[in-house]
Amino acid sequence: MSHLTLGKKWLLIMNRQILRLAIPNIISNLSVPLLSSVDTALMGRQESAAYIGAVGIGAIIFNFIYWSFGFLRMGTTGLVAQAYGSNDREELMNILGRSFMVVVLGSCLILLLQLPIAYISFWLLDGSIEVERLAREYYDIRIWAAPATLGLYAIMGWFFGMQNAIYPMILTIIINIVNIVANLYFVNHLGMKADGVALGTVIAQYTGIVVAIALFFYKYGYLTAHFSKKAMMQIQAIKKFLALNADIFIRTFCLFAVFAFFTDRSADQGDTLLAVNMILLQFINWMAYGVDGFAFASESLVGKYAGGKNKTLLNKSVHYTFIWGMILALLFSLVYYFAGESIFWLFTDQSDIVEAAIPFLFWTALLPVFAAPCYLWDGIYIGMTASKEMRNSMTLALLIFAVVYLLLKPYGNTGLWLALLIFLIARGAIQWFWWSGIVRRAFKT
């Protein structure tokens, strides 16, 4: 077989692997912003813009709570993918066991501290009195979904590491269908508002964790024979797990800080601009979750090839993941550019909100192509378990965001959006700059 033919064969195999993992991820990921979009649309058809702002602020609070535990998915995926690549069945089960230890402790912590978390959150996110009242109703109900949500993070991360993108897709679709149906029923038929949206989320999350456990035992029950409590509690392994997760926690906290600040500055401009920005963020969410389909694929493939010490295939997986991810980002930009205003009307029927949004629709077309690299690099870094570099790149990007915002503050909402754009570009640029060093360290070349 000629080198050219062999090269084409490997190209075909690599792209098949990427798409086999990415397509289910994209389908499942896009169902997540579909849910938040339905919630926004339901609240956007209430009598006041305060309802949109309330659900937006409530979502920011829970993003902070759950993103803080995002390491349960990201860290678990990278470690499991590497154990999978080296065919270490005992470690596969031990990683899941350590993850669920954190789930139990984290859930107890969140529920015990729910009152101080609420007090600090509503003090920091300074919305109007009406927005805060509605957001508090949302918070008081949704907080009880914490155990199920954290459990789903852990088990979904484990599935991804096992190169299984189908089960997370099934779970995400089931969760979001249950959530959307419940929200529509509670809001449209029972007359509930933000509290109905929150209750639907709680029901959906517990449905999801029950299905997830059933799927695990259906396909991977045989691995429980390799579980070792003694090995799971090994001090060095726990230290490595906690160190990795601590770095991802700091990284995630910095990311949350940017979007929390963005929401707070939006609220400071009044309920109308808060509603505008919360809807525009839905556009960004659609793009981010779509591109994350390829980022999740890279987590699995990069982790597998790093664990198997195959540098050639690792580099190829990174290269072709970027090509596919950027093509998808460009498609999002084109759709938003040509149909942005029409899409915006799907979220609200209030003409004053739409009119206020028109000057800022440009950002929804600009951000996808410039923001996509940082989402793709995140997946690659997770696969390499390069947690320190993830942490440091996010910290630097946060500092850049702060400086840029201070310089652009006089430009109001335009300055706020430009600062967000520069933050996302900075993340991707720093990660790209550090990548070769991470590869050299991993393969000691």
The DSSP-derived string for 75-111 is HHHHHHHHHHHTT-HHHHHHHHHHHHHHHHHHHHHHH
* Residue-range definition of the domain harbouring residue 18: 3-443
For 438, the token pair is 């991470």
Provide the 8-state DSSP code for 193: -
pLDDT value of position 326: 95
Query: What would the DSSP string read from start to end of 126-183?
Result: ---HHHHHHHHHHHHHHGGGHHHHHHHHHHHHHHHHTT--HHHHHHHHHHHHHHHHHH
CA 3, CA 297: separation in Å to the nearest integer? Answer: 27
Question: One-letter amino acid identity for 124?
Answer: L
Q: Quick check: 294 and 18 in contact, CB under 8 A?
A: yes
DSSP string, 378-429: HHHHHHTT-HHHHHHHHHHHHHHHHHHHHHHGGGHHHHHHHHHHHHHHHHHH
Buried/exposed 352-365: b ≥16 CB within 10 Å, e otherwise = ebbebbeebbebbb
- Residue 421: the pLDDT is 95
- Confidence at residue 198, expressed as pLDDT on a 0 to 100 scale: 83
Asked whether the whole model's pTM tops 0.85, one would answer: no
* Total domains in the fold of the chain: 1
pLDDT at site 217:
94
pLDDT 10s digit of each residue in the chain, 445 long?
455 554 566 677 777 888 887 787 777 666 555 555 566 666 666 656 666 667 777 777 777 777 677 777 777 887 888 888 878 888 888 888 888 888 998 899 999 998 998 888 777 766 667 777 777 888 888 889 889 989 998 998 899 888 888 898 899 889 888 988 888 888 878 877 777 888 888 999 999 999 999 999 999 988 888 777 766 667 776 677 677 677 877 888 888 889 888 988 988 888 788 888 888 888 888 888 888 888 888 888 888 888 888 888 888 889 999 999 999 999 999 999 999 888 888 777 788 888 988 888 888 899 999 999 999 999 899 888 888 898 999 999 999 999 999 999 999 999 999 999 999 999 999 999 999 999 888 887 5
Q: How far apart are CA 305 and CA 195, in angstroms?
A: 46
48 three-class SS: coil
What pLDDT is recorded for position 5?
57
Q: What are phi and psi of 255, to 5 degrees?
A: -60, -45
Residue 113: both structure tokens together: 């501290």
Q: In this structure, which amino acid lies at residue 222? A: Y
Distance CA 363, CA 266 (A): 15
